Amino acid sequence: MVHQMIPISINPAPSASSNSNVMKRFLSCVCVALVVIGLVACGSAPLTPAGRPAPGQTGSVRSTPTDAAAIISQAKGRWVPVAWSDLPGFADDSLFEAWNAWIKSCERATAVMASICPEVRRLSIGSPQDQRAWMQERLQPFRVESVQGEATGLLTSYFEPVLEASRVPTNGFTVPLYQPPAGLAQRKPWFSRQEIDTLPEAQAALQGRAIAYLADPIDALVLQIQGSGRIRITQADGSQRWVRLAYAGTNDQPYRSVGRWLLDQGLVKDASWPGIKAWLAQNPLRQQELLWSNPRVVFFREEPITGADASEGPRGAQGVALTPGRSIAVDPGSIPYGTPVWLASRGPQVNLEKLVLAQDTGSAITGAVRADYFAGWGFDAGELAGRLRQPLQMWVLWPKPAQ
């Protein structure tokens, strides 16, 4: 599942090379020890930049991890070993939903994670206490940081829209959703959104490629940005069926946020989807201008929704079904797909301290401390996804070396 949003400017970090001689390893270990000793315990207090106490607190020293593991460098960040006591709320999460998401990740696990998957499956019927004890025995927590040492980043959210559609165009349903055109691979970039709406050759290339028709072009835009959606399609004979429209490609045009377009012109102060829709209600004649500000168009493929599929989300970039509230999209240059992650975020929309799985990505999800939280589907999920934008800290939970 590929989705976009208002771009977040996070500079990619250069890849760090490993040291090769004894003196460099010694200096590296000294640096690790100094970093660990100097960290500030975060507990379950509101998030603050690493190394600074929360307002009203004194700067207590973090405990040193029992396993003196080294810092692990990633292409776009680094992992710093910490103690389990540094994970806010670790003793309180029920873990059940996260464990189900973890078992799904084991279907497409990397070699490192595959080594512990038999134990993960066995513990699916274990108590939260058993699961927590096993995690502390078999995994090492690492705080995710940028290469510059910044441990606080950004959390946003995405969801799966639920929409009504028609298989054929009618008076009420006129906005087409397309499967990829036959010549998409031969022309890069393909026609822009404005060109698709106005050029006869673009419209000819899409002739007969419409999967369904929506009533609202803004709903179509939201569906394309989220990358997937549940659609109740009214067939030509009047019958109805539920399907999922899954991401199948783009026109390879740059993604431009319509919210950013509005902000840059000083037209709104609230660029959330509720804020955008409120502006459109007052400026209906500028709707086409707003739509054309984003040249990227997403194409879909139709997938049936069976009884089992109805309780699961779309497939993410890892290739497994997403779990509401337990799946996140990450930058794979910082966190590999299938990695269990402890997530902590406090803000006006929601307070989160929980186990999640890195199972997806998105074009705007770039940088080390960056995540997009899968909220699920439907109205409530859409409301959260449209407004969530708050500070984030993450800890990857990585298997300890075999003894």
Residue 4's pLDDT is: 59
Residue 307's pLDDT is: 77
Mean pLDDT, rounded, of the chain: 85
Residue 185's pLDDT is: 87
Residue 235 has pLDDT above 90, yes or no: yes
Residue 254 has pLDDT above 70, yes or no: yes
pTM comes to 0.77
**What's the pLDDT band for 1 if we cut at 50, 70, 90?**
low
Strand partners, 301: 246
Give 40-99 pLDDT, tens digit per residue.
Answer: 333 333 333 333 333 323 233 333 444 445 899 999 999 999 999 999 999 999 999 899
Residue 297's pLDDT is: 96
Which has more pLDDT, 195 or 12?
A: 195
Domains defined along the chain, listed by start: 22-157+316-399 (2.40.40.10), 162-311 (2.40.240.50)
Give 336-388 pLDDT, tens digit per residue.
Answer: 999 999 999 999 999 999 999 999 998 789 999 999 999 999 889 999 998 89
Residue 402's pLDDT is: 76
Residue 316 has pLDDT above 70, yes or no: yes
Residue 281's pLDDT is: 94
**What's the pLDDT band for 28 if we cut at 50, 70, 90?**
very low
Residue 25's pLDDT is: 39
CA atoms within 13 A on the CB side of 248: 19
Euclidean distance between CA atoms 102 and 97, whole angstroms: 9
Residue 386's pLDDT is: 87
Residue 273's pLDDT is: 83
State what percent of residues in the chain have pLDDT above 70.
83
Which has more pLDDT, 275 or 53?
A: 275
Is-contact 393 143, C-beta < 8 A?
Answer: yes
Residue 6 has pLDDT above 80, yes or no: no
Residue 69's pLDDT is: 52
**What's the pLDDT band for 5 if we cut at 50, 70, 90?**
low
Residue 403's pLDDT is: 67
CA dihedral 50, 55, 58, 64 (to 10 degrees): -30
Residue 56's pLDDT is: 29
Give 89-144 pLDDT, tens digit per residue.
Answer: 999 999 998 999 999 999 999 999 999 999 999 999 999 999 999 999 999 999 99
Residue 153 has pLDDT above 90, yes or no: yes
115's CB contacts (< 8 A; 6+ apart) are: 399, 402
